[in-house]
Structure 1
Amino acid sequence: MHLSLADIARLVGGELIGDGNVEISGCSGILEAKKGDLTFLANPKYSPQAETTQASAIIIPRQMTLPGKFFIRVDNTSLAFTQVLNRFIERLPNHHPKGIHPTAIIAPDVKIGKGVAVGAYTVIESGSSIGEYSVIYGHCYIGHGARVGSNSLIYPQVVVREGVLIGQRAIVHSGTVIGCDGYGYVTVEGRHVKIPQLGTVVIEDDVEIGANVTIDRARFDKTVIGEGTKIDNLVHIAHNVTVGKHCLIVAQVGISGSSRIGNYVILAGQVGVVGHLSIGDGAVVAAQSGVSKSIKAGEQVFGSPAQPIKEAFRTNAHVQRLSHYAATIKDLKKRIEELEKKGQ
């Protein structure tokens, strides 16, 4: 497949500087691109590479220019490049399973929608339903009464436990378990007695869940992942947590039980959230922060314990100077002792 630069500029609504007849046959990163490729510049630190890239054309920010290069100016370079990628991907064959594999074990009463594909050795238990045009790869398990909405994609070795509800256009990557028991125990006479976890998990529409994620079922009622939220690999979400709409949860985040995460919240890598608190809409928690109290809407926090980000940066600056402060205090102490001796 080939697209002319003029076609690409129209597709992304950009301003073309260069020969519109130049044909693009693929997309690549700025360092790896070769003749015939389109690349893009999203991070200014790669500007020197943009000047030396072998790509035939570059998508760049609206305010930028690149003498001697063919380029397309746009407002959002990542979005524009994604639009072009999607146009190329449309023409590529996919490798999803087709139809129902003969080794799949599907209970007789399971409701299978039009165009559903189920891979080898997948098990779908009684009372479940799979929405139309969804794809369930091989070696998956869909428990009793679970529901997978239409146009969803479940990769190999995913476990969807009994009663879990997954919405439309969901993507769940390999190794993820949705609906495992919440971590609930009561200590009686020195022994930890398991508390039954009777609730479920609800995954709303357009959610993507990375690899090896665990989402616990609620003790009662439901654990909820809101519409459009994107969860990275190796995240744990405990029982009765509610995650709002369109959140970004990055790798190795852990959210303890019964916490409530608002809409459009960003939890960066390795953030830890204690239980029974709330994080307001639009809040941002920087990487490796420990959240021990509720956070207001729109607030940006960092550190452990997490604090307003500017305050945290000031604190960190002082921490880095502790050895200097210690030396200064030692010197001042010595001077004071000398003055006291003279005073005697």
Structure 2
Amino acid sequence: MKFTVGQIAQVVGGTVEGDANAAVSSLAKIEEAGAGALAFLANAKYESFLYTTGATAVMVSPGLVLRQPVSAALIRVDDPYLAFTKLLEFYQQATRTGRRGVEQPAFMGESSTIGTGHYRGAFSYIGEGCVLGDDVLIFPHAYIGDRVTIGQGSVIHAGAKIYADTVIGRYCVVKAGAVVGTDGFGFAPQPDGSYKAIPQIGNVVLEDFVSIGANATIDCATLGSTVVRQGSKIDNLVQLAHNVEIGRHTVVAAQTGIAGSAKVGDYCVLAGQVGMAGHISLANKTTVTAQSGVGKTVKQEGTILQGSTAFDFKQNQRAQVTFRRLPELEQRVAQLEKAQSTPEKL
């Protein structure tokens, strides 16, 4: 597909410097772009590529001052990264699969309904009592259990499994191999040391514009709902246990595990391989860096957490007390060193 630089500027709400009629047919990184490509510059450390890039057009910020001439047309936008993201969404919609209708064999329960403009791939299964909206895409080998609701424009990719009673909002994406609504990890210890399974009779609710990554697993609630709220993005290989609540517009990166009944606030960031204990909560806008373990509730909005280690419990507790005192101890050592190095007065 081809667009002019001027047309792209209209989509992203930018202004053009250079040839507005130049044709763009692809998107690329600024350091790799060639003729016909559109790139963006959001990080100052890449500015040198602006003067050497082969891109036909580059999106830049309004305040960027050119240090030398550029060959590419410039599209000035308030936030180049956000504008490029918007353009990617536009491109994705423009090139989205045109598949519609039903491939055979495919099954849908007699009591289920689906809206217009839908697609059901071969070997997909939709149980009884389901309600699927307009423009829903169900790819091959996807499984939709009984009484599932899926909102308009949502996409269930190949091999995804959606268990009974799950509620999925509008324009959600569940990627290949993800499992939504499986039983939570609930077992009651018995006097003889064995464990008895606790029935998990709740469900999962994904609000509008939620994305679930490939091979992620989201357990149903023991009672009530496991909830991922509007606009949140869950990466590949993430585990959300029963009764977890993820706030609005929160991102959770790969290999993170969140234990049962934990609550994550709005606009939080959980980086890769984060572990979060059960029955605790994170305040809005909390950031947890990669491979960190969170064992206590965080009440202060905007907190940044880092660190995790595991060794003998009692030793760890004593070490943590000492660790918290390190700044004070460092100051005392510095004072002692200064006193030792100062000559005594006669």
TM-score normalised by structure 1 residue count: 0.84
> Is residue 2:142 matched to residue 1:140?
yes
Q: 2:154 aligns with which of 152, 160, 164?
A: 152
Which residue identity is paired with 1:146?
V
Larger mean Cα displacement after TM superposition, 250-259 or 75-84: 75-84
Which residue identity is paired with 1:226?
R
Cα 1:304–1:28 shift into 2, 3 Å? same
Q: 2:261 aligns with which of 242, 258, 261?
A: 258
Q: 2:115 aligns with which of 106, 113, 116?
A: 113
Which residue identity is paired with 1:275?
G
**How large is the Cα RMSD of the aligned pairs?**
2.4
> Is residue 2:60 matched to residue 1:57?
no
Which residue identity is paired with 2:226?
T
> Is residue 2:204 matched to residue 1:201?
yes
1:1-344 equivalent positions in 2, closer than 5 A:
1-66=1-66, 67-69=68-70, 70-92=73-95, 94-95=96-97, 97-188=99-190, 189-296=192-299, 297-304=301-308
Deviation at 1:298, TM superposition (A): 1.8
State how far apart, in whole Å, the 2-side matches of 1:86 and 1:284 are.
26
State how far apart, in whole Å, the 1-side matches of 2:150 and 2:88 are.
28
State how far apart, in whole Å, the 2-side matches of 1:104 and 1:286 are.
43
Whether the 8 Å contact between 1:113 and 1:132 is mirrored in structure 2 is yes
Which residue identity is paired with 2:292?
S
Cα 1:115–1:21 shift into 2, 3 Å? closer
Deviation at 1:96, TM superposition (A): 5.4
Please name the residue that 1:337 is paired with. Answer: none
Deviation at 1:10, TM superposition (A): 3.6
Cα 1:269–1:163 shift into 2, 3 Å? same
Deviations 1:169-203 (Å, cap 9, x if unpaired)? 11110000001111111221121211111111111
State how far apart, in whole Å, the 1-side matches of 2:146 and 2:138 are.
16
Cα 1:115–1:11 shift into 2, 3 Å? closer
Cα 1:27–1:192 shift into 2, 3 Å? same
Cα 1:97–1:125 shift into 2, 3 Å? same
Aligned-partner SS, 1:81: helix
Which residue identity is paired with 2:143?
Y
Deviations 1:56-111 (Å, cap 9, x if unpaired)? 2211223223422132222211122233344444543x335421222012111111
Cα 1:267–1:58 shift into 2, 3 Å? same
Deviation at 1:216, TM superposition (A): 0.4
Cα 1:212–1:76 shift into 2, 3 Å? same
Aligned-partner SS, 1:9: helix
State how far apart, in whole Å, the 2-side matches of 1:108 and 1:126 are.
7
TM-score normalised by structure 2 residue count: 0.84
Provide the aligned length of Structure 1 versus Structure 2: 312
